[in-house]
Structures are given as structure tokens and as C-alpha cells.
Structure 1
Amino acid sequence: MSLDEATTALLAQLAAAGGAPMHEVSPGEARARMAGLAQLYPAGPGARPQRRRTHPRAGGELPARVITPPNPRGVLLYLHGGGWVVGSIGEHESLGRQLAAATRCTVVLASYRLAPEAPWPAAVEDAWAALQWVDAQRSALAAEDAPVVVAGDSAGGNLATIVARHARDAGGPSVDLQVLVYPVTDHDFDNGSYTDPANQLALNRQTLQWFWEHYVPVDQRDHADVSPLRADDLAGLPPAVVVTAEHDVLRDEGAAYAERLRAAGVQVDHRDFAGQMHGFFTMVGLLPAQAEAVDHVAQQVDTHLNSLETTR
């Protein structure tokens, strides 16, 4: 299926604005560009006033935003995308509000240090610290026994599934569900979705290579905390909701990770959104499929939390 009309129109609008491709600019300029795009998003549904917080990391603290709906039934830790180089919690606040309203979970938007200033494993360390903070704050965020969902898009999806595996290996904190939106799971730039000409859109093969070059050296990319698709053992991980987009260079590795989880005995819901490109999930108010994808994720979260409530 070709790109849908809304996506085609948005790409034309972005192209008309001009500017060099992201992989030809500095990280600072790329960050400013992404922040500018986020100005187009609406504020999002009215949850309770957000709280600006900090969560600890080794050697300091990082900003976090907490969005609390009425009577929260769980906590959803959200790790933003941006190739570990761009993106911020402020740019994801509209999405966070949307998710809080749709899932009835307290949403914690947690920052992590960005490359190249802080290369791997800084982002992994910070995401792990954020999960531990959420665990320590469960009763204040929702309830003492509230379920915890770890979620993220793109590079954030990469971090989400890595910390879910860390939690398994460390015997906690308990994670009840992982939501992985077109996650980065490998560094194979020559698979079918990477080389498909129809997928060279807002995010393309060259841009992903640019992100990787800033984030981690070539000789460390096979590590499971970089490329989770290459982890030896995925058994015992939390159930997963995996969202991919048809016209996304990351489509094949997201699908492959979903299949590896299934093969390891993990419950997986994987949906590929036809006619969509990378980034559509976070483009609040710009693409109709964005709201559809959030509704899908919310339905899956609801189903899973309902099943937990019947067994507790």
C-alpha cells in the first residue's frame, strides 16, 4: 500500500520548508528542527496538571514529567525516540497526555542523556535508573501494587525492551507489559525495509546510519544492550505490544523482534500500520493514523491490565 494522503501531504509541507537532510547537519541543528516540528502538535487531552520532576542517574539527576489521570490504574514509563541523538520529553508531552487519558495510567516521561555528548551506554543507564525510580515511587504515582508498563518509540523502544530485560535478569523491578513502537532492535542496514526505495522518507537509511555513528562504535553494536534482537535469551520477558509502520526502514527489525519474542514464549501483539511512515505515532494531531495507533495501544494495555486485575 502506498503512503496515505495525510502523510503524503505532510511530507510535501516539510519538503517545502527546505533545509538539508538531517544526516547532513549537526546534532544541535537536528535537535532544533525536531523541536520546531513539535510546535505543531496540540496540547493534548486535559489530564491533571503535569508535575515537573527529576529522576536520579549516576552522578546527577535528569528531568521527568509526570502526567496523572483521575484514579490511575497503573504507571507507564515512556522513553522518547530520536535516534539517541535528538528528541526531548517536552516534545512528547502531547503524546504523554494522550496516553494518560487513553490508558488511565500515570505517564512518566523520563529524560536520558543524548549522544554524541553522552554515547552508549549512557542512555541505557539512564533508562534503567528511570525504571528503578518509577518502581520506588509506585505508591505516589498510582498505588503500591500498581502495574508498570515500559514503553517507547524508535530509540526509546530500544531502551524500553533493554530495561525490561535488565529487570528480568535482576529479579526486578517488576514490569508487567512492554510497548515497543517501531523499535530499533538491530544494526543491519541492508535488510529489505532499509533498502526499499519506498521507505526513504522523513527517516531513511542514511539518517539511521548517522544516528548510529553518533551513538555507539561499530565494534560494540552486537551487544544485546545495543541490538536487542541479538540477545541470547528473550524468554521470561513481559508481554509485548509491538507497533510497526509499513513504510519505515525499521519495519523488518521490529517484526523480527516480535517473532523472536513469540519464539521465546512471550505473549506478543504485533500490528503493522499500512500506509504509515516512521514517526507517525508521535505526530499528534497531524496524522489520522496517529490517534488510531494510540487507541490500539490503549486497548492492548486495557486488556492486559484487566487480566492482571482478575488474577491478583
Structure 2
Amino acid sequence: MPLNAEARTLLDLLEQLGAPPFETLDPVEARAARADMAPPILDSCFETLDLNAGGVPARLYRPEPSDEIPGLLVYFHGGGWVIGDLQSHDNVCHALCVGSGHAVLSVDYRLAPEAPFPAGLDDCIEATTWAHAHAQELRIDPDRIAVGGDSAGANLAAALCHGAPVPIRFQLLVYPVTDAHTDSASYEENREGYFLTKAAMEWFIDHYLAGNHASRDDPRVSPLLASDEAFAACPPALVITAGFDPLRDEGIAYAERLAAAGVTTSHVHFPGEIHGFFSLPHMLGEARSAHALAARALADALAPAS
């Protein structure tokens, strides 16, 4: 399938703007460049609250009040473990809260290389554990918690689910990083020209592992390499992938491993899309479709037991 026309227009615009590749910047410059690209909010939830989730900065998104206590999606933003923050994915969290009718807790985990692996993963585990323990304060059901994220955030969600610190009902994985070896066919097919490049991913991974606390073979870094037993213990999942994405093949492989382990898994592929499309509903119609799909899956997964 050819590249989506809207995605082509977006890539042409980025080329005209002459934005420097992330791998040519230092992390501070890259974060500033990403901050300048923060998308607008299309769907505003009922209420947001910035809070401290066990020592980890976070933002809570509340749905419209109702007689039913909502579930909670704990969301980990993308950005290669190096860039991104609460603001960069504010639009995504608003949309998922509004669309699903459940609360969302966005986690501002520590970033590499200043805080390399496992700092970000530790923060995600801490915030999820805190949310479960403080469910009454958050006004959510502790038995209906999901985790999710996009790209590096989906990597963190997947890794968390292999040793979940609290019961997790569902995982939402949007073009996840699942194998840090960067040697799949999709890395070669999409190594440059489609927003996320192979060179950028090498830059991100090198920064994430800068502390030398793990290798690319560690399942906490490359969740695709986890044991069959770890996969079998995972919660149901929705995995979203994009055709013109270096991460395409590892996302597909991850969905296949979940399903082979007996985990209820939905895999939805957007063959004409690029990495990052999920964050751009103001520019890409398929992003809006993906938001609706993810929100429906969350609504179903976090529905109270009948």
C-alpha cells in the first residue's frame, strides 16, 4: 500500500521547514524541538490535575462525572526515552479519556541520558503502584487499571506487564519498541524518509542504555525477547502498528508472540502511516480513527464486571 496522502503532505512540510534530525542534536536541544511540535487538544476532558505519583510527576485526566467509578489508563509517553513529557502527549491523553469514559494518568518519567535505564521504567512501575494504592483518592477502581503508551512509552508498558507490580486489566501498545537490535526488515525498508529514522533510533537507544546497566538483549529493554512464561502472564492487548515505520516488524512480532502465548490480542495495522501518526489527529484522519479504536478498546477492557 502506498504512503497515506496526508502523511506525505506532512513529511513534505517537515522537509520544507528544514527541521534538523534528532540525532544531530544534543538531548536538551531535541527536547526543545519536540516541545515546539506539541499538537493542539481536539477533545478536552472534564478535568485535569497535576500531581505527585509516589515521587513521579504525573497528570490525571478525569472523564465526565457519573454514578459509575471509572477505570484508569496509566499512560507512558513516547520520545525514545530521551524526549517528550506531559505536554507533548497532552492531546492523546485528553482524547483517550474523553473517548473511553475512563481516567488517564500520564507519567512524566525520568529521561535519558541524564537518567538512563532503568530509571524511566522504575518511575513507570512506581507511578502504577502508587495509582493502585491511591485508587480511592484518585476516584478510580483499583481492579480496573490498564497501562499503555506509544513507541518508547509502549516499550515501558510492555516491560511493566512482564512483571506487573499490580493487577493490570489491559495494555495499549502503539507502535511499540520491542527489540532494540534495530535489524528487522522494516528498519531497512524505512531507515530514512518517513520521520523516524534508523539513525535516530540508534541515537535514542544509545542514550537510554548510557548507564551500562543493561544490554539490548535484556527483556526489560527488548520485551520481544522475554520468556514464553512472561508472555503468558500478560494482560489482553491492543497493538497498533504503521506500515512506513522502522518499528513495524517488531510490533507485529510482539502481537504474534502475545497471541501465541494465549493472550487475547488485537493487532490493527495502518499500512499507509508513519511512526508518530497517533499523536497527530489534527493533521491525519487515520490518527483520529486510531484514537477512536483505542478508546473503544479501553472502554470495553475497563468496563465494570456485569
**TM-score, normalised to structure 2's length?**
0.93
Structure 2 distance, partners of 1:259, 1:295, is 23
Whether 2:236 is the aligned partner of 1:239: answer yes
Structure 2 distance, partners of 1:18, 1:142, is 46
Per-residue deviation, 1:145: 4.5
- 2:196 corresponds in structure 1 to 203
Equivalent positions of 1:24-173 (< 5 A) are 24-38=24-38, 41-56=39-54, 61-70=55-64, 71=66, 73-167=70-164, 172-173=165-166
Q: 1:175 aligns with which of 153, 168, 173?
A: 168
CA deviations over 1:233-262 (Å, ceiling 9, x no partner) = 311210011000011000000110111111
Change (3 A) 1:20 1:198: closer
Tell me the C-alpha RMSD between the 2 structures. 1.6
Per-residue deviation, 1:49: 2.5
CA deviations over 1:96-119 (Å, ceiling 9, x no partner) = 111100011101011111001011
Q: Secondary structure at the match of 2:301?
A: helix
Paired residue type of 2:305? E
Higher relative contact order (CA 8 A, sep 6+): 2
Paired residue type of 2:255? A
Give unmatched runs, 5+ long, in structure 1.
Answer: none
Change (3 A) 1:145 1:208: closer
Structure 1 distance, partners of 2:103, 2:217, is 34
**Between structures 1 and 2, the one with greater helix share:** 1
More moved, 192-201 vs 202-211: 192-201
**TM-score, normalised to structure 1's length?**
0.91
Per-residue deviation, 1:62: 2.6
- 1:184 corresponds in structure 2 to 177
Paired residue type of 2:93? G
Whether 2:295 is the aligned partner of 1:298: answer yes
Structure 1 distance, partners of 2:193, 2:225, is 25
Give the share of equivalent positions with the same residue, in percent: 38
Paired residue type of 2:181? D
Give unmatched runs, 5+ long, in structure 2.
Answer: none
CA deviations over 1:29-63 (Å, ceiling 9, x no partner) = 1111111111xx2223232231111112xxxx232
Structure 2 distance, partners of 1:153, 1:197, is 18
> Is this contact kept in 1: 2:102–2:299, CA < 8 A?
no
Paired residue type of 1:113? R
Q: Say how many residue pairs are matched.
A: 299
Paired residue type of 1:48? F
Structure 2 distance, partners of 1:145, 1:65, is 18
- 2:223 corresponds in structure 1 to 228
Paired residue type of 1:9? T
Q: Secondary structure at the match of 1:128?
A: helix
Q: Secondary structure at the match of 2:220?
A: coil
Structure 2 distance, partners of 1:108, 1:267, is 24
CA deviations over 1:66-109 (Å, ceiling 9, x no partner) = 11002352101000000000011111111111110001110101
